[in-house]
């Protein structure tokens, strides 16, 4: 069961079929997805949406649609992703075109981080591309501690361990 989270400006909620076009528009955008391994086609976007939803049944956590309260519009995604080859869940975030620079990613990722650590009692991390300067700034703003750099599926990544702000 999906546990919705709320912040002052955002509702983090489960995905619905009516969100697909917005998600597919993001996932098929080469510029916005360059740090995610590149854009995908609509079939892969559909599979990705199913994965976000399916993680909830399999793991008890998963991906959220980020809805901006005043706009009643999905503006991004965040949550926890835990594929079979990860030893622990990864906190991820992406903000869709037109909504960057407003602090939405930090607000959403902070809410998920706190919920994951305090409520679910999970140890969580994030992989960030070395050339993704906005995400590096965000993960450091979240108070994550940088660990040993790694290679994820053949791609160099920075590794960050998340802690509650009060633990940092």
Domains and CATH numbers, the chain: 5-167 (3.40.630.30)
Please say whether the beta carbons of 67 and 82 come within 8 A.
no
pLDDT per residue as tens, the chain (168 positions): 788 999 999 999 999 999 999 999 999 987 887 777 778 899 999 999 999 999 999 999 999 999 999 999 999 999 999 998 899 999 999 999 999 999 999 999 999 999 999 999 999 999 999 999 999 999 999 999 999 999 888 889 999 999 876 544
Residue 168 has what pLDDT? 44
Integer angstrom CA distances of residue 5 from 12, 57, 61: 5, 17, 12
What are 168's two structure tokens? 């940092």
CA–CA gap between residue 148 and residue 168 (Å, rounded)? 18
CA–CA gap between residue 168 and residue 130 (Å, rounded)? 23
Residue 165 has what pLDDT? 63
- The number of C-alpha atoms within 13 Å of 74 and in the hemisphere containing its C-beta is 20
Residue 73 has what pLDDT? 94
pTM: 0.91
Please say whether the beta carbons of 124 and 117 come within 8 A.
yes
Please say whether the beta carbons of 140 and 154 come within 8 A.
no
């Amino acid at each position: 069961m999906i546990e919705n989270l709320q912040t002052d400006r955002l509702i983090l909620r489960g995905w619905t079929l009516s969100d697909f076009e917005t998600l597919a528009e993001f996932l098929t955008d080469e510029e916005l997805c360059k740090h995610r391994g590149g854009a995908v086609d609509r079939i892969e976007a559909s599979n990705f949406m199913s994965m976000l939803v399916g993680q909830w049944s399999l793991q008890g956590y998963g991906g959220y649609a980020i809805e901006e309260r005043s706009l009643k519009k999905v503006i991004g995604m965040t949550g926890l992703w835990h594929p079979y080859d990860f030893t622990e869940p990864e906190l991820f975030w992406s903000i869709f075109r037109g909504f960057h620079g407003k602090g939405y990613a930090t607000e959403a990722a902070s809410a998920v981080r706190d919920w994951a650590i305090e409520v679910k009692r999970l140890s969580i991390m994030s992989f960030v591309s070395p050339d993704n300067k906005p995400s590096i700034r965000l993960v450091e703003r979240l108070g994550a501690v940088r660990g040993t750099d790694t290679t994820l599926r053949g791609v160099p990544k920075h590794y960050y361990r998340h802690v509650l702000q009060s633990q940092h």
